[in-house]
Amino acid sequence: MQENQKTLKRRYEFEGKGLHTGKLVKMTLSPAPANTGIRFLRTDLGPDAYIDAVADYVTLTQRSTTLQKGDITITTLEHLMATFFALGVDNALVEIDNVEVPILDGSSKPYVEAILPDGLEEQDAPRVWYDLKTPIHYKDEQTGAEFEITPAPEYSVDLLVDYNSQVLGVQEASYRFGDDFANEIAPCKTFVFFHELELLVKHNLVKGGDVENALVIVEHPVPQEELDRMADLFRVQRLTRTPNGYLDNVNLHFPNECARHKMMDILGDLYLVGCRFRAHVRASKSGHKINTEIAKRIRYELFGRTSQC
């Protein structure tokens, strides 16, 4: 039975701030014709400022994924891309009036809650799943991150997360295409270690971070004055460390929420292959740098360096 491409049924509007830039942004998700793929339009740069969501345009990968084509830049798109992939959106136009996709609550949940009740629009064009023919193995010797992708009859991902953290321990997560992304992965928020926060701020990152959009892992007990300094950063009155080693700003949805969020990042970054493919992905210590490198390698394996899906 033929499986057809799908797009959104209507327009969806979102407004918020970018996690790293802190800039306010308005973003609209709209239906797009068959065979369009996922395209971004920087409306603040003009009516022709389009960039396709493919790994060819990946530039920066520090704490998020950035695409750039000439003067057109889009960053922190991974949560939105994961939503499109997992819900089955093949074609969509994303209109955005600034450089960074809004972080919203730090997860994919706001997108899912908007799109899922309406369902998707089936289009008069077949959905093509490409089959990976040759295994791909890649290891980043500097970070220890490692991917192994092998041909398989279905799309699946198995992930291991190990930060040598007493709080997190070793976490695992798995995903098979068609799994309940909406309830099992979408609510999982981005996370950061407490000791990283000041360094990130010094590097002009997490300007849009607040107590609603991130889990903060506090590896060891810290003096209250340090917590108070972070409270000032987040513009709240007081923060404390919970017995299980997190700031008390948000509650965990799952014991392995950090691994599930990393799964979200993988799904979004790998959708930058630009199409759907069948393979089994095994990832260890993943991050945006290796995720997007793998997307480039899969894209090259399937289509060659200059080919389009």
| 67 part of a folded domain | yes
CATH of the domain at 58: 3.30.230.20
Q: Determine, yes or no, domain membership for 20.
A: yes
Report how far residue 146's alpha carbon sits from residue 22's, in angstroms, rounded to the nearest whole number. 32
Residues 6 or more apart whose CB falls under 8 angstroms from that of 136 comprise 147, 148, 149, 294, 297, 298, 301
**pLDDT the model gives residue 21:** 83
Range of the domain at 70: 4-128
Helix (H) or strand (E) holding 265: helix 257-270
- How confident is the model over 276-282, as a mean pLDDT? 97
Name, in order, each residue with C-beta under 8 angstroms of 72's C-beta and a sequence gap of 6 or more: 40, 42, 45, 49, 50, 51
pLDDT score for 225 = 85
The 3-state secondary structure of 170-213, one letter per residue: EEEEEEECCCCHHHHCCCCCCEEEHHHHHHHHHCCCCCCCCCCC
Query: Which tens digit of pLDDT belongs to each residue from 226-254?
Result: 888 777 777 777 888 888 888 887 788 99
Q: Is the pLDDT of residue 307 over 60?
A: no
**Residue 231 lies inside a defined structural domain of this protein:** no
In a domain, 187, yes or no: no
pLDDT at 158 over 60: yes
CA 244 to chain centre: 26
Per-residue burial over 83-102, b = 16 or more CB atoms within 10 Å of its CB, e = otherwise:
bbbbbbbbbbbbbbbbbbbb
Distance from C-alpha of 96 to C-alpha of 62, rounded to nearest angstrom: 21
DSSP state of 132: P
**What pLDDT, on the 0 to 100 scale, is given for residue 198?**
63
Average pLDDT of the chain, as a whole number: 91
Q: How confident is the model at residue 97 (pLDDT cuts 50, 70, 90)?
A: very high
The HSE-up count of residue 111 (CA atoms within 13 Å, CB side) is 31
Residue 233 parent element (H or E): helix 224-234
- Is residue 124, in this structure, part of any structural domain at all? yes
Rounded to whole angstroms, the Cα distance separating 146 from 283 reads 6
For 164, left (φ over 0), alpha (ψ -120 to 50), or beta? left
**Domain assignment present for 173:** no
Number of domains in the chain: 1
Task: Give the residue-averaged pLDDT of 127-135.
Answer: 95
Find, among 86, 77, 82, the residue nearest to 6 by Cα: 86
Tens of pLDDT along 260-276?
Answer: 999 999 999 999 999 99
pTM (predicted TM-score): 0.93
Q: Does residue 73 contact residue 96 with C-beta atoms inside 8 Å?
A: no
CA 121, 272, 114, 184 torsion: positive or negative?
positive
d(CA 108, CA 25): 17
Structure tokens at 180: 């309940």
Which positions are catalytic? Answer: 288
Share of the chain above pLDDT 90, in %: 73
What is the Cα–Cα distance from 290 to 287, expressed in whole angstroms?
6
Decide if 95 is inside a domain: yes
Find, among 57, 95, 61, 93, the residue nearest to 73 by Cα.
57
pLDDT at 242: 87
- Residues with Cβ within 8 Å of 155's Cβ and at least 6 positions away in sequence, in order, are 129, 176, 177, 276, 277, 278, 279
pLDDT (tens digit per residue) in 4-41 = 999 999 999 999 998 878 899 999 999 999 999 999 99
Give the per-residue pLDDT at 195: 79
Could you read off the pLDDT of 195-215 as tens digits, one per residue?
A: 777 666 666 555 555 667 888
- Please check whether residue 129 is in contact with residue 278, taking contact to mean a CB–CB distance below 8 angstroms: yes
181 part of a folded domain: no
